[in-house]
Amino acid sequence: MAGKPTINDIARMAGVSKATVSRVLNHKPDVDPATRERVMRIVEEQSFVPSITATGLAGGQSRLIGALVPAFTWPFITDIMRGVAEAVSLTPYELILYSINDSRRSDDNIDILDHILATKLTSGLLAIMPGQPSKYVTRLHKYGLPSVIIDDQDKPGDIPWVGTDNKHGGYMATKHLIELGHRRIAHIHGLQRYLCSHERYQGYCQAMQEAGLPLDPQLVFEGEFIQPTGRAAGHYFFSMPPEQRPTAIFASADLMAYGVMAVAEEYGIQIPRDVALVGFDGLDSSAHVRPALTTVQQPFYEMGRRATELLLSMLDKPHFARKLPDSPAFQPTSLNGFGNNNYQEPIRIHIPSTLIVRESCGSPRHLSLSTPD
Partners of residue 370 on adjacent β-strands = 354
Cα 34 to the center of its chain, rounded Å: 44
Closest CA relative to residue 151, chosen from 354, 29, 307: 307
How far is 158 from 344, CA to CA, in rounded Å?
9
SS3 content of the chain, % helix, strand, coil (to 5): 45, 15, 40
Tell me, which fold does domain 7-58 have in CATH? 434 Repressor (Amino-terminal Domain) (1.10.260)
The arithmetic mean of pLDDT across residues 111-121, rounded, is 60
308, 323, 327 from 313: Cα distances, Å: 9, 18, 28
pLDDT of residue 30: 79
Residue 57: pLDDT band by 50, 70, 90 thresholds? very low
How far is 248 from 360, CA to CA, in rounded Å?
10
How do residues 184-225 score in pLDDT, each as one tens digit?
A: 999 999 988 888 999 999 999 999 999 999 999 999 999 999
∠ Cα 237 238 240 (to 5°): 75
Query: Is the confidence at residue 366, as pLDDT, over 70?
Result: no
CB 70 within 8 A of CB 100: yes
Residue 51: pLDDT band by 50, 70, 90 thresholds? low
Range from 36-40, 76-80, 111-115 carrying the lowest mean pLDDT: 111-115
How far is 80 from 334, CA to CA, in rounded Å?
31
Range from 45-54, 173-182, 237-246 carrying the lowest mean pLDDT: 45-54
Q: What are the sequence ranges of the domains in the chain?
A: 7-58, 64-164+301-350, 166-299+353-370
pLDDT of residue 215: 95
How do residues 289-325 score in pLDDT, each as one tens digit?
A: 999 999 999 999 999 999 999 999 888 764 444 443 3
Range from 152-156, 170-174, 258-262 carrying the lowest mean pLDDT: 152-156
Q: Do domains 7-58 and 166-299+353-370 have the same CATH topology?
A: no
Percentage of the chain surpassing pLDDT 70? 75
Phi, psi of 287 (to 5 degrees): -80, -10
How far is 270 from 260, CA to CA, in rounded Å?
11
Query: Is the confidence at residue 287, as pLDDT, over 90?
Result: yes
Residue 336: pLDDT band by 50, 70, 90 thresholds? very low
3-state SS assignment for residue 161:
strand
pLDDT of residue 118: 56
pTM: 0.73
Query: Is the confidence at residue 58, as pLDDT, over 70?
Result: no
3-state SS assignment for residue 370:
strand
Query: Is the confidence at residue 86, as pLDDT, over 80?
Result: yes
The arithmetic mean of pLDDT across residues 69-77, rounded, is 77
CB 357 within 8 A of CB 369: yes
Is the pLDDT higher at 183 or at 29? 183
Range from 99-103, 107-111, 313-317, 355-359 carrying the lowest mean pLDDT: 107-111
Contacts of 199 (CB under 8 A, 6+ apart): 166, 167, 170
- Rounded to the nearest integer, the mean pLDDT of the chain is 81
Tell me, which fold does domain 166-299+353-370 have in CATH? Rossmann fold (3.40.50)
pLDDT of residue 194: 85
3-state secondary structure 175-243: HHHHHCCCCCEEEEECCCCCHHHHHHHHHHHHHHHHCCCCCCHHHEEECCCCHHHHHHHHHHHHCCCCC
Is the pLDDT higher at 118 or at 12? 12
DSSP element (H, E) containing 303: helix 300-315
CB 301 within 8 A of CB 79: yes
Answer yes or no: CATH 3.50.50.60 is held by domain 64-164+301-350. no
Cα 111 to the center of its chain, rounded Å: 21
Residue 174: pLDDT band by 50, 70, 90 thresholds? very high
Residue 339: pLDDT band by 50, 70, 90 thresholds? very low
Residue 62: pLDDT band by 50, 70, 90 thresholds? low
pLDDT of residue 342: 45
Query: Is the confidence at residue 255, as pLDDT, over 90?
Result: yes
**Greatest mean pLDDT range, 6-15, 281-290, 332-341:** 281-290
CB 219 within 8 A of CB 186: yes
Query: Is the confidence at residue 104, as pLDDT, over 90?
Result: no
pLDDT of residue 320: 43
Pairing of strands 294-297, 354-357: antiparallel
Percentage of the chain surpassing pLDDT 90? 45
pLDDT of residue 295: 97
Query: Is the confidence at residue 74, as pLDDT, over 90?
Result: no
